[in-house]
């Protein structure tokens, strides 16, 4: 047996390169942050799906959303579970349960299997396919909420809370303004609240995503655009739920609602400091990322003996994995979390901030909120 092919058999199926995570035997990148020849995209959030690559491969379920965000790209799609040969590898995409079209990438090469998760969650979500555990030797995982303090209530409990907040406001003749990320979270909220309570409106940054979801066959209740209503006409909003991106907070856009109550829906609302700094009446703890127990469940379900952590609370997760007797390490990546999305949406509407500076601002704020409340390991410094 020759030594070179022996080494090829043992070499890692995914390595970190300056452009992004790279699969040498398949000659492709996964969610690269610099322009490359061939990119496999796990989902259409802006920190994972960027302009500038020559060829894109992504899930068919997410094609509408991806093309609405990156129009004109050269895109090949795969149905979930469909297999494709890429150079020496066989790849397939499997539901990640994060947002519409989100996928884990399974890579098979000479009998070995690696899975790159992208972002994922295990909680039920009517707007996307449920997370599918995929057996593998090595699992590449996110760890956005990889600390024991992050435990989510059942989604139905959270939406019951949103409904009763909205119902109470409507009874008082007060608009209910709910801030949440425009891609994924907003559609999950729309699909899950009780649309019988009153009319639903959305901000202009949310509507293109609603359209892409509807075109992909996701059922959403009727939603009107706030901008269709003349600015002086406040009365129509008194019973309404208004879904807006976080960037709309504190803007003149809110004046048209007259008296309103506001709330923010995010996993970060688990931190009291984050809620306080947001200055909203209510914080709903709702995330499209796995909480700490779900991360453990998902990792365990893969059967992987080796786990590589990409972003979020990297050090605590690596430590925990090693305590479980697993081989664990980290990749340095440029993935953020869904707050980046908030500012991408804001940039669409206001065209004032560049997404890079917005991303840095947001990251700084999360670290601050984490430090001030519970003093966990700083997520940014642990990458
Ligand atoms: Zn994401
Ligand atoms: Zn992400």
> Which CATH fold topology does 155-284 show?
Rossmann fold (3.40.50)
Instruction: Give the C-alpha separation, 14 to 3, whole Å.
Output: 21
pLDDT digits (tens, 9 = 90+) for 156-204: 999 999 999 999 999 999 999 999 999 999 999 999 999 999 999 999 9
Ligand nearest to the CA of 65: 1
Residue 272 has a pLDDT of 84
**Rounded (10°) angle between helices 314-323 and 292-302:** 50
- What is the whole-number distance in angstroms between the Cα of residue 250 and the centre of ligand 1? 25
| Separation CA 154–CA 124 (nearest Å) | 9
Q: What's the CA-to-centroid distance between 22 and ligand 1, angstroms?
A: 19
Q: Report the separation in Å between the CA atom of 164 and the middle of ligand 1, taken as the mean of its atom positions.
A: 28
Give the distance (Å) from ligand 1 centre to CA of residue 304: 23
Q: What is the CA(188)–ligand 2 centre distance, in A?
A: 17
pLDDT confidence of residue 368? 30
Where on the phi/psi map is residue 282: left (φ > 0), alpha (ψ -120 to 50), or beta? beta
Strand partners, 175: 260
Average pLDDT (93-102) is 98
Distances (CA, A) of 238 to 118, 170, 201, 324: 40, 6, 11, 53
Do 162 and 284 touch, CB atoms closer than 8 A?
Answer: yes
CB atoms within 10 A of CB 280: 20
Q: Which ligand is nearest to the CA of 335?
A: 2
* Ligand nearest to the Cα of 288, by number: 1
| Residue 171 Cα to ligand 1 middle (Å) | 36
Distances 302 to 180, 222, 349 between C-alpha atoms, Å: 31, 39, 41
Q: Rounded to an integer, what distance in angstroms lies between the CA atom of residue 27 and that of residue 268?
A: 37
Q: Where are the domains of the chain?
A: 11-150+288-373, 155-284
For 56-60, 309-313, 332-336, which range has the lowest pLDDT when averaged over its residues?
A: 332-336
Give the number of whichever ligand sits closest to the CA of residue 337.
2
Report the pLDDT averaged over residues 323-331: 97
Q: CA-CA distance, 37 to 26, in Å (whole number)? A: 12
Q: How confident is the model at residue 6 (pLDDT cuts 50, 70, 90)?
A: low
Distances (CA, A) of 308 to 61, 116, 131: 26, 9, 19
> Two tokens at 359?
């991303």
Name the CATH superfamily, with its identifier, for domain 11-150+288-373: Ribonuclease Z/Hydroxyacylglutathione hydrolase-like (3.60.15.10)
Question: Per-residue pLDDT averaged across 25-49, rounded?
Answer: 97
| CA of 164 relative to ligand 2 center, distance in Å | 31
Q: Using one digit for the tens of pLDDT, what is the confidence trace for 38-65? A: 999 999 999 999 999 999 999 999 999 9
The larger pLDDT score, comparing residue 72 to residue 273, is at: 72
pTM (two decimals): 0.87
Side-by-side strand order, sheet with 15-17: 15-17, 20-23, 28-30, 38-40, 55-59, 75-78
Q: Which ligand is nearest to the CA of 183?
A: 1
Q: How many Å lie between the centroid of ligand 2 and the Cα of residue 376?
A: 20
In the reported structure, the alpha carbon of residue 141 is separated from the centroid of ligand 2 by a whole-number distance in angstroms of 11
**pLDDT band (50, 70, 90) for residue 356:** very low
Which numbered ligand comes closest to the C-alpha of 185? 1
Give percent above pLDDT 70 in the chain: 85
In the prediction, which pLDDT does 7 show? 63
Among 18-22, 205-209, 268-272, 365-369, name the one with the lowest average pLDDT: 365-369
């Amino acid at each position: 047996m020759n030594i070179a092919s022996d080494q090829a058999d043992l070499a890692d199926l995914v390595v970190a390169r300056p452009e992004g995570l790279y699969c040498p035997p398949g000659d492709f990148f996964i969610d690269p942050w610099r322009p490359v020849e061939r990119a496999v995209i796990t989902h259409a959030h802006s920190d994972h799906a960027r302009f500038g690559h020559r060829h894109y491969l992504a899930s068919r379920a997410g094609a509408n959303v991806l093309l609405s965000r990156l129009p004109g790209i050269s895109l090949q799609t795969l149905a979930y579970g469909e297999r494709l040969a890429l150079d020496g590898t066989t790849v397939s995409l499997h539901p990640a349960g994060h947002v519409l079209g989100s996928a884990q990438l399974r890579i098979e090469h000479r009998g070995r299997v690696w899975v790159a998760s992208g972002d994922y969650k295990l909680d039920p979500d009517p707007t996307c396919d449920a997370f599918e555990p995929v057996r593998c030797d090595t699992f590449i995982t996110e760890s956005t909420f990889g600390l024991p303090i992050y435990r989510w209530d059942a989604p139905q409990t959270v939406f019951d809370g949103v409904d009763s907040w909205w119902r109470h406001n409507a009874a008082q003749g007060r608009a209910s303004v709910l801030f949440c990320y425009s891609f994924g979270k907003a559609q999950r909220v729309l699909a899950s609240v009780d649309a019988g309570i009153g009319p639903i409106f959305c901000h202009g940054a949310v509507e293109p995503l609603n359209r892409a979801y509807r075109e992909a066959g996701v059922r959403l209740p009727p939603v009107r655009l706030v901008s269709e209503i003349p600015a002086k006409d406040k009365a129509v909003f008194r019973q309404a739920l208004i879904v807006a991106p976080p960037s709309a907070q504190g803007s003149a856009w809110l004046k048209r609602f007259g008296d309103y109550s506001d709330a923010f829906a995010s996993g970060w609302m688990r931190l009291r400091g984050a809620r306080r700094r947001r200055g909203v009446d209510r914080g709903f703890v709702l995330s499209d990322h796995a909480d700490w127990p779900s991360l453990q469940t998902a990792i365990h379900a893969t059967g992987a003996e080796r786990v590589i952590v990409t972003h979020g609370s990297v050090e605590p997760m690596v430590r925990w994995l090693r305590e479980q007797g697993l081989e664990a390490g980290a990749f340095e990546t440029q993935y953020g979390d869904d707050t980046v999305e908030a500012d991408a949406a804001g940039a669409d509407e206001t065209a004032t901030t560049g997404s890079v500076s917005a991303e840095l601002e947001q990251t700084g704020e999360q670290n601050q909120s984490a430090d001030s409340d519970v003093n966990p390991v700083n997520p940014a410094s642990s990458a």
